[in-house]
Amino acid sequence: MSARQVDPQISANHPRETTDLFGHRDAELALLNAYRGGRMPHAWLIGGAQGIGKATLAYRMARFALAHRDPGAAEVQHAETLFVDRSEAVARQLAAGSHGGLLTLERGLNDKGVMRSVITVDETRETISFFGSTAAVEGWRVCIVDTVDELNPNAANALLKVLEEPPQRSLFLLVSHAPARVLPTIISRCRKLPLRPLATSDVIAAAAAAANIGRDDAALAQAAGAAEGSVARALTLSGGDALKLHQRTAALLATLPRVDPRELHALGDALGGSDRIALAAFIDSIDRWMGERLRADEAHANANLPRLARLAEVWEKINRAARDTESYNLERKPLVFSVFGLLAEAVR
């Protein structure tokens, strides 16, 4: 693999197509036991770092509930996992996005064919017609929100209204990269299911399966070691010089709020003109650093709330700018200077 790059947005299957789960055994058992025990909460908030399998677990639960409509059935009571074979009709329908019992809320394309930066209120209002219409299929109705972090304020309030009065046999699976930033009113109506970063061996296994490469690949092993439990990050870092770019970005972040402009110019040049993997590695490095800062500040009882809010606002601006840069194929160097300018101001 050393001679080729892996683009995670191309090589990795969508979570709705992924029937295997690596790690997260305790979380899977929590879902399975609640389902077959007749104590299934109507909403779950599945939280954790990006790329560790949250959406994969959500689709795995949806697939199981839609394939096994009766929690008291013998095959459910004796099940050891939430696995459903990909040859089953429900699995095929979910992979194709055609199952009438599943609604997925995620960012879509606008009327210009560009990916939106948020999930809109109009998209979220689909939950009302989805849960209110005559069932196309018997059994559960499942809504996956991937991710709840990307709901705009009006969309979050629209979702909250449905969560406040959940329909019978409804199941909401909300995926979040930053659960602490989710509306408290939404959190209060969910059972929280935090996922830990994966072990390096699980990262290697999952990334190898996603990219269809051998588990003994040296570049993948090195990337997995630096991925901090994230399969998506390992796929990104295993492409070309992405790992070196990640290390270079991390070194500059460590110097904040003061950064050598010459180093920023060099980093902007290293990002290249249209290398999606390089851009993904850069933004991943920023996301990781921001996440660590927010978690560290939140862990302190005397946390500086205005600073937390400022960091969260900057994080949203950076991700919006990154999406625009990729969508419109903009120059990378201005993005580098903008990102480090925002971060320097936020941490002063």
Tell me: the pLDDT tens digits for 30-87? 999 999 998 899 999 999 988 899 999 999 999 999 999 999 999 999 999 999 999 9
**Tokens (6 digits) for 162:** 């449905």
Task: Give the domain range for residue 297.
Answer: 241-347
Shared-domain flag, residues 42 and 126: yes
Shared-domain flag, residues 34 and 171: yes
Please check whether residue 290 lies inside any domain of the structure: yes
Please check whether residue 54 lies inside any domain of the structure: yes
Percent of the chain with pLDDT over 90: 55
What CATH number has the domain bearing residue 76?
Answer: 3.40.50.300
The residue among 11 and 320 whose pLDDT is bigger is 320
The answer to whether 332 and 271 are in contact (CB under 8 A) is yes
Mean residue pLDDT of the chain comes to 87
Question: How many Cβ atoms sit within 10 Å of the Cβ of residue 263?
Answer: 15
Percent of the chain with pLDDT over 70: 91
| Alpha carbon distance 310, 175 (integer Å) | 23
Of 194, 224, 251, the one marking the end of a domain is 194
Whether the predicted pLDDT of 246 surpasses 50:
yes
Q: What is the pLDDT of residues 187-229, one digit of tens each?
A: 999 999 999 999 999 999 999 988 788 898 888 888 898 888 9
Residue 28 identity: E
Please check whether residue 210 lies inside any domain of the structure: no
Shared-domain flag, residues 301 and 175: no
**Tokens (6 digits) for 157:** 């309030």
Please check whether residue 232 lies inside any domain of the structure: no
Please check whether residue 73 lies inside any domain of the structure: yes
Residues in the chain: 348
The answer to whether 342 and 314 are in contact (CB under 8 A) is yes
Number of structural domains (the chain) is: 2
Shared-domain flag, residues 293 and 189: no
Shared-domain flag, residues 54 and 179: yes
Shared-domain flag, residues 87 and 142: yes
Three-state SS annotation for the chain: CCCCCCCHHHHCCCHHHCCCCCCCHHHHHHHHHHHHCCCCCCEEEEECCCCCCHHHHHHHHHHHHHHCCCCCCHHHHCCCCCCCCCCCHHHHHHHHCCCCCEEEECCCECCCCCECCCECHHHHCHHHHHHHCCCCCCCCEEEEEECHHHECHHHHHHHHHHHHCCCCCEEEEEEECCHHHCCHHHHCCCEEEECCCCCHHHHHHHHHHHHCCCCCCHHHHHHHHHCCCCHHHHHHHCCCCHHHHHHHHHHHHCCCCCCCHHHHHHHHHHHCCCCHHHHHHHHHHHHHHHHHHHHHHHCCCCCCHHHHHHHHHHHHHHHHHHHHHHHCCCCHHHHHHHHHHHHHHHHC
Shared-domain flag, residues 103 and 186: yes
Shared-domain flag, residues 247 and 181: no
Of 172, 194, 216, the one marking the end of a domain is 194
Q: Looking at the whole model, is its pTM more than 0.85?
A: no
pLDDT at position 239 = 66
**Tokens (6 digits) for 45:** 């908030």
Whether the predicted pLDDT of 312 surpasses 90:
no
Shared-domain flag, residues 105 and 189: yes
Q: Is the dihedral of CA 135, 104, 212, 274 positive or negative?
A: positive
| Alpha carbon distance 247, 258 (integer Å) | 18
Please check whether residue 215 lies inside any domain of the structure: no
- pLDDT-derived band at 7 (thresholds 50, 70, 90) equals very low
pLDDT at position 309 = 79
Shared-domain flag, residues 181 and 271: no
Please check whether residue 309 lies inside any domain of the structure: yes
Q: What is the pLDDT of residues 72-126, one digit of tens each?
A: 999 999 999 999 999 999 999 999 999 999 999 998 877 877 778 889 999 999 9
**Tokens (6 digits) for 306:** 């205005």
Shared-domain flag, residues 190 and 247: no
Of 194, 212, 231, the one marking the end of a domain is 194
Residue 79 CB-density burial (10 A; 0-12 exposed, 13-18 middle, 19+ buried):
middle
The answer to whether 148 and 172 are in contact (CB under 8 A) is no
**φ and ψ of 93, to 5 deg:** -65, -40
Please check whether residue 214 lies inside any domain of the structure: no
Shared-domain flag, residues 29 and 152: yes
